[in-house]
A and B are shown apart, each in its own frame.
Chain A
Amino acid sequence: MRGLLCPDPRLVRRYLENNNMVGTSHISVRNLSVHFPLGRQLFGKPPVVRAVDGVSLEIPKGSFFGLVGESGSGKTTLGRAILKAAPITSGQILYRDDEIKYDLGNIGKEQLKDYRARAQLIFQDPYAALSPRMTVRDIIAEPLEVMGITDTRSATDDRVREIASKCRLNLEHLRRFPHAFSGGQRQRISIARALVCNPKFVVADESVAALDVSIQADILNLLESLRGELQNTFLFISHDLSVVAHICDTVAVMYLGILVESAPTRSLFSNPSHPYTKALLSAIPSLDPDIRGKAQKLEGEIPSPVNPPSGCKFHTRCPVAEEHCRREVPLWRELSEGHSVACHFAEPKPLPENIYN
């Protein structure tokens, strides 16, 4: 039954074949669940937080893959599971690049060490992510030293300088401590540290959320140019849809541990098919003062992942939910090429235009 919650592997395969991407998917997540037990109970099983509950997705090589959703939707946990930093309860995560293939549920200690150099994370808050007692040079060099990638100090220094200049850091500042830098510069240091071991896959978890707009634009442009230069694959986790719209090629929308819609960016933004995606898009405040208060509002808040609603998990907040939404889990359906959605209403009956009033 759970298999119905996620994209049919055959559909995914067909999409990849059509786009000449067979074998080029960098990360394949299949029916992944990450559950965290809540304490212990004397009798019976303790309650579980279903942070990720049966997610399947394919991240194509070289893509900028966006993952959006409210806080509590499980997007960070999914990102961490892919980095092998959260426990995999069931399902499979496959990593594949030109040199090597890993099954992350089943990975040895030595292999994991190698995987750490291939997959890296950029954090949200550049103030909390950098040690105040280390110089910028030491911060950026630490992954190289820990993983034993460079042999000599001069080789380490060369690599640090190379990546620092790619991240547009002033090389004269490498001897300073983080407190001397502004938020934007700190985030560039944080990016340089993530990229110094030349990872093929990078998870950027809300990496621009804490920054001012003008710095945010600068960091987004930097990530874009780095991807062109270094050919990495990015998983970009964000709650800000306008940022995702600008930088990502493909976007997946999460709600309460499941994927509700996934599509190429243009297709998702021009034709959102899940009521939740519609609500998210509509909630973005418009820059035009003349269209005030026209947003379609979503009532209530995200339910607890300990006790998720039956049937379609979104039915408690969905303005078009009917009786069978409460009982039946919607199938994951492909609407157009690469655009899939899990909603009873997506087809054959399209959503009415104005569902929130």
Chain B
Amino acid sequence: MIGSIAALLILQLIGTIVIRLTGIPLPGPVVGMLLLFVFLLWRGATPDSLASTTRGLLSNLGLLFVPAGVGIITHLDAVADQWLALTITLVASAVIAIVVTAFTLRVLMRNSLDTPEPVAPKTGD
């Protein structure tokens, strides 16, 4: 488990250094994610300890956004002033973006824009 945590931190660190050196407008952890992805594809399988550490971290991802969310307290006045316009914009834009993206992807995948599927099983919910 410690090895997995060290690996995640090292990749984040490498990502951050790459960003600093190149000036790419992305956060270091996103670059770290891409590096780990490439490594796992090359290696062919994910080590068990890494799989269980990441499962623990990702199954409670929502918690990690709570401290930033509480930051709304520093903008309560500005938000209260235009609350109706803000609510309409945030809700409508989120709904439109999600619905458009989901159906675009489904239509494209259905119309076999891509390489044909080698195996049949497909899981619904």
Specify whether A and B are partners: no
Q: Which residues of A contact B (CB under 8 A)?
A: none
Q: Which residues of B contact A (CB under 8 A)?
A: none
